């Protein structure tokens, strides 16, 4: 009886944090969606007669080699980068969690086979896999999102599988089993609420991973179409002007760095809240 109530308490606590996290994420998403409206110019407008201008009142961060407003491109890039990174994280976590939960709940040969497959995946350098997938599917945003997802779901599968195995042996699960609950009900109603903390923490970290990976692939020319306001691509396109106009590389570079630091801090905060110590972080 005592143990049951302990579990309930933890559950309530979890859902409290879950609400805070959700509010925060919605605020971030809204901010990112609204940001482009503050852009002073159209990020695509090319003005050859107004290229490489220094920062001014009209162009707070100056213009790039094609005469486009750097600030506007950064603001539009925020939406594109965040939305793509979110897509990667959401898809990877859903697929990975489902597979991890099945492996953890079913166990046995299936579990071993799945985990060996995940390990196999993580042996390959992620960038190489992304390049192969993006190369096969053809260049473009969709290909990169799919590629990053394919690489990333294994992390979730392993974390969820380990968490499920730990939780499965706990008394509250045994109690549920004794009451005759079915396996999927145990997984969804009992175990999932108890591992949501580690999952959310992992998702914050993987968000920053996705942003960096996305920018990296764009930098290498595998991501979005040339001319798109995307941070990694902005660095790649300004690279040729690094010596004479370092601000063109610094602006997107520092933005990426700041964004990643912010998301990582959020992850740390969540980790502290949930007292995530023993999660098997794979990256």
Partner 1 sequence: MIKRTLLGVAIAALALGTFGATSQDAKASDDNTLIIGTMWESQPLAMKPRRSRFFNESEILDTLVKLDYDLKPIPGLATSWERVSPTVWRFNLRENVVFHDGTKLDAEAVKFSLERVVALLPYAADLLNIKSMTAVSPLVLEIENTEPYAALPNQLTDAITVVYAKSSFDEAGEFVKPVGTGPWKFEEYRKQDRTIVTRFDGYWGEKPALEKIVYRYIPDHNSRTLALEAGEIDFVTNMLPSDVKRLSKDADFKVYEQPTSGLYYGAFNAGDKSPLSDVRIRRAVNALVDRNLIVEGALDGIGEPAWEFFAPEFDWAPQADSKYSLNPERAASLLTDAGYEKTDGKWTKDGEQLTLRILSYTSRTEMPMITEAMAALLNQQGIATDVQMYTWGGMLDLVKRGEYDISVVFWTPEMTGHPDLHLKSQFHSKAGLNYQFWENTEFDAAVDTGRTLDAGTEKDATYKKAMNILHDDAPIIPLVHKVFVVAATKDVKGYRIHPSGFFFDFKNVSK
Instruction: By CB under 8 A, name the binding residues for partner 1.
Output: 44, 46, 48, 51, 65-67, 122, 125-127, 139, 151-152, 155, 205, 209, 212-213, 215-216, 219-221, 225-227, 237, 239-244, 282-283
Please report how close the Cβ of residue 252 comes to partner 1 at its closest, in angstroms. 13
Identify the CA nearest to 147 among candidates 76, 229, 237, 84: 84
**Coil, strand or helix at 44:** coil
Please report how close the Cβ of residue 32 comes to partner 1 at its closest, in angstroms. 22
DSSP-H helix ranges across 107-191: 108-123, 126-137, 141-168, 171-178, 183-185
Question: Is the Cβ of residue 45 or residue 56 nearer to partner 1 in the bound state?
Answer: 45
Question: Is the Cβ of residue 69 or residue 126 nearer to partner 1 in the bound state?
Answer: 126
What tokens does 98 get?
């489902």
Question: Is the Cβ of residue 183 or residue 283 nearer to partner 1 in the bound state?
Answer: 283
> Rounded to whole angstroms, what are the CA distances from 111 to 106, 115, 149, 232, 275?
7, 6, 21, 38, 27
> How far is C-alpha 257 from the chain's CA centre?
15
Please report how close the Cβ of residue 182 comes to partner 1 at its closest, in angstroms. 35
Question: Is the Cβ of residue 11 or residue 282 nearer to partner 1 in the bound state?
Answer: 282
Quote the CA–CA distance of 268 and 12 in Å, as a whole number. Answer: 21
Please report how close the Cβ of residue 160 comes to partner 1 at its closest, in angstroms. 16
Please report how close the Cβ of residue 181 comes to partner 1 at its closest, in angstroms. 36
Quote the CA–CA distance of 258 and 253 in Å, as a whole number. Answer: 9
Quote the CA–CA distance of 267 and 113 in Å, as a whole number. Answer: 31
Question: Is the Cβ of residue 14 or residue 97 nearer to partner 1 in the bound state?
Answer: 97
Identify the CA nearest to 80 among candidates 255, 238, 269: 255
Question: Is the Cβ of residue 132 or residue 242 nearer to partner 1 in the bound state?
Answer: 242
> Rounded to whole angstroms, what are the CA distances from 120 to 45, 113, 126, 162?
46, 10, 12, 17
Burial class (CB in 10 A: 0-12, 13-18, 19+), 260: middle
Please report how close the Cβ of residue 169 comes to partner 1 at its closest, in angstroms. 27
Question: Is the Cβ of residue 172 or residue 219 nearer to partner 1 in the bound state?
Answer: 219
Please report how close the Cβ of residue 152 comes to partner 1 at its closest, in angstroms. 8
Task: List CB contacts of 16: < 8 A, sequence separation 6 or more.
Answer: none
């Amino acid at each position: 009886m005592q143990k049951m109530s302990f579990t309930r308490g933890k559950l309530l606590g979890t859902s409290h944090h879950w609400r805070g996290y959700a509010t925060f994420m919605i605020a971030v998403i809204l901010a990112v969606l609204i940001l482009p409206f503050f852009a002073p110019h159209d990020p695509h407008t090319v003005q050859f007669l107004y290229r490489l201008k220094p920062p001014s009142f009209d162009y707070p961060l100056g213009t790039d080699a094609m005469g486009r407003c750097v600030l506007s491109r950064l603001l539009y890039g925020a939406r594109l980068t965040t939305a793509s990174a979110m897509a990667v994280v959401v898809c990877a976590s859903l697929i990975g969690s489902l597979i991890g939960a099945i492996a953890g709940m079913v166990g046995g040969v299936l579990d071993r086979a799945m985990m060996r497959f995940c390990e196999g995946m993580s042996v390959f350098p992620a960038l190489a896999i992304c390049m192969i997938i993006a190369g096969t599917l053809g260049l473009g945003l969709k290909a990169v999102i799919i590629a990053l997802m394919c690489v990333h779901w294994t992390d979730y599968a392993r974390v969820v599988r380990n968490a499920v195995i730990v939780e499965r042996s706990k008394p509250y699960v045994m109690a549920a089993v004794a009451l005759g609950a079915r396996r999927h009900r145990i997984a969804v109603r009992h175990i999932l609420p108890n591992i949501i903390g580690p999952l959310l923490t992992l998702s914050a970290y993987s968000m920053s991973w996705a942003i960096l990976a996305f920018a990296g692939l764009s930098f290498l020319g595998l991501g979005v179409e040339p001319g798109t306001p995307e941070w990694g691509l902005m660095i790649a396109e300004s690279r040729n002007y690094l010596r004479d106009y370092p601000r063109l590389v610094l602006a997107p570079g520092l933005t990426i760095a700041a964004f990643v630091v912010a998301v990582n801090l959020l992850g740390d905060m969540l980790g502290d809240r949930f007292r995530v110590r023993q999660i098997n972080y794979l990256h």
